[in-house]
Structure 1
Amino acid sequence: MEKVPTQQYSVIRDGIKYGSYIFLLFATGWLLVILYLGKYPSLLAMAFLSFTFGLQHAFDVDHITTIDNITRKLINDGKNTHGVGFFFSLGHSLVVMLMTLITIFFVHWSKEKLPHFQHIGNLVGPIFSGTVLIVLGLINLLILIQTCHQFNQIRQGHTDQPADQMTHWTLGIFHRALQLIQHSWQTLIVGFLFGLGFDTATQISVLATSAVATNNVVPWLAVISFPLLFTAGMCLMDTSDGLFMSTAYSWLFSSPFQKVYYNIVLTGLSVTTAFFVGIVEFVQVAGRQFHLHNQLVQWCTRLNFQHLGIILVILFIITWSLALVVWRRLNHQIK
């Protein structure tokens, strides 16, 4: 009975902690804008757009899918997952920050070399993110298979083996492949490597905004406000997503049977989206590298990851709601 209040306190405490970091980024960004706003009024619109781009970019389906699957993986390992969204987003934003600094201090060099880095990013970023998503999907698929077995065991009245104990030997090589991710802060590295595919429209928009400001001889401290606000916006949404996933998974698993039931429903959705997004990213890379133009490549290329992310959020809400309704009916029948 004391576990729920303790978990709620932990979520509130970590939410305040990460929220303060985000507020610091947001406040610093706007402070830099205000300092130079009198001389450069155009900073206001560019700063607002940068923050909006960050909010929008957080809805990319690869963000939501990765945060969800890493959260599921760490919860299964008994780890604190409240910072998964924050650190993933922070690592992702570091790429934008670094490229903005290069744009500011090496304007002519960046004009010549940036297209080359974008070409490399178009290859490295999606391959890494696609690989991570597929590996996470495989890990959670194995967890799903084991959970289904536990579900059947509990329904048959075999409760000798507690439902919250997972036998990790079934996870094999795929589980060992991600043993490096044992804590929330380590997802910063994952987010950074995801960000190397900096062809994303929002990231390029922030860099372009920085370049325009630099060419107009805007002080570099003012230009730094753009990636800071972009980071604040993206961290705000991704952190909220991570905290929601952590809270929902932990709060709903209040009994062994209920825990196994929700694991099946929600891990199934996580596995499906991880495989889907990972495969789409590989198809997109193959289409660009080998100049393929078949119907599959064209369909994958036309997919809007931000629209897919919004759809995925809606699917999660619908799945949680349906699972709750079905669980209550199923639980009533069992009683």
Structure 2
Amino acid sequence: MQVKTKHYPLGVDLIKYGGLVAIIFITGILLAASYLRQYPALLSMALLSFVFGLQHAFDIDHITAIDNITRKMINEGRNTHGVGFCFSLGHSLVVNLMALVTIFFVTWSKKMLPAFQSIGGIIGTTFAGAMLILLAIINLFILVGIWSEFKHLDQPNTDAGFKKGRIYHLFERSLHLINHNWQVIGIGFLFGLGFDTATQIAVLATSAVTASQGVPWYAVLSFPLLFTAGMCLLDTGDGIFMSTAYSWVFASPYRKVYYNLVLTGLSVAAALFSGIVNLLLAAKLIFGVDNAMMSWVEGLNFTYLGLILVGLFVVTWSVALICWHYLGLNKKDQALKSIK
């Protein structure tokens, strides 16, 4: 399986996406500061919204989706520096739209929010579960292709490409529309429809309560904007790190094997786990299933799971880097390059 590896300038994308996050953050701060003298409590609420965004970025479905989409697009030779930012921006659009509704229709939104939660929860969790499982299957096929190619690494003239079957092409076509960073906004938006998380509801509730106390609507809008800034900040960093790391990995045959056999396996396992959990939650919402397993699933903290996944990635990368040099794999990689 020949990967169409391309190198995209990182500096320009860092300035672009970092600048966009900064604009969102500064706009939120300025809106909060506009009525700070009359309402000093706005500052603490605004900073709390920013912290909520930072925390929400560590949800396991965020990290898993960004990781798997990045790996899928890099395997096709595409620029993935903006995957994290676009996913987070699409996700936060749900919070911003609902915040606008709560600001301008406070009484109505308080009555209708439970219904929106129920409908959005079904759509969001179902889509998230199906998409994560689909991404896991795609990357599982990629893993099989990497292993197939590895078995012929020492045969420089052998065409050992992974033969893609009908099943692979079926799943590949399902994700064929994801070719550019901006298209990930739609995926993030659909993930965000399950806006029953504590952080999102807290931001909406804060917006509604503050608006009902006479705070100007544009000052209240600072809460969802700062929530967006916090989430985009960490998700953008996560996406750029994954993109840079995987670009380096895919640049040589031995790196693809020794890193991806472990990393892709970890990504696939995380995507399958998160996808199944989301589908189980959707089943509970749709069919009202209630048993011991459902109670356990509902009790899972996605933020803690996300932090555990980040830790696993850090440990895996560290061990892989040590093995790369300690086992002399870098020399073997250079020797293979000289042969080819």
Alignment of 1:78-97 (within 5 A): 78-97=77-96
Assess if the C-alpha contact under 8 Å between 1:253 and 1:262 holds in 2: no
What is aligned with 1:252?
249
What is aligned with 1:331?
329
Aligned length: 326
Partners of 1:166 and 1:182 in 2: how far apart? 22
Partners of 2:159 and 2:67 in 1: how far apart? 24
Alignment of 1:259-298 (within 5 A): 259-298=256-295
- Displacement of 1:326 in angstroms is 2.8
- The structure 2 residue matched to 1:314, chosen from 301, 311, 321, is 311
- Displacement of 1:325 in angstroms is 2.5
Partners of 2:81 and 2:151 in 1: how far apart? 31
Assess if the C-alpha contact under 8 Å between 2:132 and 2:272 holds in 1: yes
Over 3 Å counting, the alpha-carbon distance change for 1:19 and 1:292 in structure 2 is: same
Partners of 1:91 and 1:131 in 2: how far apart? 18
Q: Which digits, 9 at most, give the CA deviation of each residue in 1:115-161, with x for residues without a partner?
A: 1111111211100000000000000011111111111121xx22335
- Displacement of 1:33 in angstroms is 1.1
Gaps of at least 5 residues in structure 1 are 1-5
Tell me the amino acid that sits aligned with residue 280 of structure 2: V
- Displacement of 1:260 in angstroms is 2.8
Partners of 2:49 and 2:43 in 1: how far apart? 10
What is aligned with 1:18?
17
Assess if the C-alpha contact under 8 Å between 2:149 and 2:162 holds in 1: no
Alignment of 1:1-335 (within 5 A): 7=7, 10-154=9-153, 157-160=154-157, 171-328=168-325, 329=327, 331=329
Partners of 2:73 and 2:27 in 1: how far apart? 32
- Displacement of 1:330 in angstroms is 5.6
Partners of 2:77 and 2:185 in 1: how far apart? 19
Over 3 Å counting, the alpha-carbon distance change for 1:167 and 1:213 in structure 2 is: farther
Over 3 Å counting, the alpha-carbon distance change for 1:193 and 1:48 in structure 2 is: same
Gaps of at least 5 residues in structure 2 are 1-5, 336-340
Equivalent residue of 1:298, what SS? helix
Assess if the C-alpha contact under 8 Å between 2:121 and 2:282 holds in 1: yes
What is aligned with 2:338?
none
Tell me the amino acid that sits aligned with residue 73 of structure 1: K
Partners of 1:242 and 1:39 in 2: how far apart? 39
Partners of 1:259 and 1:325 in 2: how far apart? 16
Partners of 2:25 and 2:186 in 1: how far apart? 22
Assess if the C-alpha contact under 8 Å between 1:162 and 1:256 holds in 2: no
Assess if the C-alpha contact under 8 Å between 2:150 and 2:253 holds in 1: no
Q: Which digits, 9 at most, give the CA deviation of each residue in 1:190-228, with x for residues without a partner?
A: 000001000011000000110111110100010011111
Equivalent residue of 2:80, what SS? coil
Equivalent residue of 2:35, what SS? helix
Over 3 Å counting, the alpha-carbon distance change for 1:108 and 1:269 in structure 2 is: same
Higher helix proportion (structure 1 or 2): 1
What is aligned with 2:3?
none
Partners of 2:90 and 2:227 in 1: how far apart? 13
- Displacement of 1:333 in angstroms is 8.9
Partners of 1:35 and 1:75 in 2: how far apart? 43
- Displacement of 1:166 in angstroms is 6.4
Equivalent residue of 2:78, what SS? coil
Partners of 1:327 and 1:294 in 2: how far apart? 47
Equivalent residue of 1:36, what SS? coil
Assess if the C-alpha contact under 8 Å between 1:151 and 1:261 holds in 2: no
Partners of 1:184 and 1:162 in 2: how far apart? 32
Assess if the C-alpha contact under 8 Å between 2:129 and 2:276 holds in 1: yes
- Displacement of 1:314 in angstroms is 0.4
Partners of 1:297 and 1:69 in 2: how far apart? 26
Partners of 1:111 and 1:246 in 2: how far apart? 41
Equivalent residue of 1:153, what SS? coil
Deviates more, 1:215-224 or 1:319-328: 319-328
Q: With the length of structure 2 as denominator, give the TM-score of the two structures.
A: 0.91
Equivalent residue of 2:179, what SS? coil
- Displacement of 1:255 in angstroms is 2.4
Partners of 1:333 and 1:38 in 2: how far apart? 64
Q: Over aligned residues, Cα RMSD in angstroms?
A: 1.9
Partners of 1:312 and 1:50 in 2: how far apart? 24
Partners of 1:71 and 1:332 in 2: how far apart? 25
Partners of 1:214 and 1:333 in 2: how far apart? 63
